Amino acid sequence: MKNRNLVYIFLISVFIFACNLPSAVPGTNPTPAPITFTPIPAIIATGTATAAGSTVPHASPNDGALNCRTGPDTTYAVAAVLNTGQSVEIAGKNSVGSWWYVKNPAAPGTFCWISAQFATVTGDASGVQIVAVPPTPTNKPGTSAGVITDIGVSVDPNSIHVAGCIGPIQPVTVFVSIRSNGPMKIKVHLKDEQSGEIYVNDMNFKKADFQDFSKSFTPLVNEGKHKISLTIDGLDLKDFKTVTSYTITC
């Protein structure tokens, strides 16, 4: 009997405790919203390729001054002179591409010709057009307005071996040829890099002609490469090959 009473008391206590528990307040524990993922569109780099514009070709002297003539040959008069570092725009060329037709730096709005051999080109010259060549200048009868059209300078032998760099040394001979398109008088100088001036020669062209001469001399015994140069009083020979050389080995 006593045990049964204890059971009743326990059940009543549990019931009372359960009734006194706080009830849940609506809205205090909301159901979490479902997580959704919104795809982010990929960012694609776009752009428009810009073609590089064509570069206007220019020419400048390789080394030193360069004559700009009224036509593509040394028989034409000099219209201007390009100095070292000076650049001019190329506007054309002759049929074989050996001369450039350029804007005249001395007279805006006009053009002149420079030898391609002595010029450095920058830019794209592949599309340069061929330009008509002016008539070759001729000399009037009775005048002395000849023009040098060709020069040749060479030396033989161009290599000398000297045992122990002690003489004697064999002589070398310089050969010079000059062509003029008309009557003219010139004074030619030959200069050895070691010895200085070795020869002076007066040449008289009575008409369009070709003349040549030679000069032998004994060089100093100094090992290395030595230049021999030709000059003509009062004339700019930039368009011609006027330097040769010989080499001494020991």
Pairing relationship of beta strands 209-217 and 111-115 according to DSSP bridges: unpaired
Could you give the 3-state DSSP secondary structure of residue 92? strand
- 43 lies in some domain: no
Cα(166)–Cα(225) distance, integer angstroms: 17
CA angle 94, 139, 177 (to 5 degrees): 75
203-240 confidence digits (pLDDT tens): 998 888 889 999 999 999 999 999 999 999 888 888 88
Q: Where in the sequence is the domain holding 229, given as residue range(s)?
A: 148-249
49-59 confidence digits (pLDDT tens): 323 345 899 99
Asked if pLDDT for residue 28 goes beyond 80, the answer is: no
Cα(100)–Cα(75) distance, integer angstroms: 16
Closest by Cα among 83, 90, 93, 91 to 62: 83
CATH number at residue 103: 2.30.30.40
Asked if pLDDT for residue 114 goes beyond 70, the answer is: yes
Tokens (6 digits) for 82: 């390009």
Pairing relationship of beta strands 243-249 and 159-161 according to DSSP bridges: parallel
69-84 confidence digits (pLDDT tens): 889 988 787 888 888 8
Asked if pLDDT for residue 26 goes beyond 80, the answer is: no
How many domains would you assign to the chain? Answer: 2
Asked if pLDDT for residue 24 goes beyond 80, the answer is: no
DSSP letter at 130?
Answer: B
* Average per-residue pLDDT for the chain: 79
pLDDT at position 148 is 87
Asked whether residue 84 falls in the same domain as residue 168, the answer is no
Q: Which of 71, 88, 122 is the last residue of a domain?
A: 122
Asked whether residue 111 falls in the same domain as residue 167, the answer is no
Asked whether residue 64 falls in the same domain as residue 113, the answer is yes
- 41 lies in some domain: no
236: left (phi over 0), alpha (psi -120 to 50) or beta: beta
pLDDT at position 155 is 94
Asked whether residue 106 falls in the same domain as residue 179, the answer is no
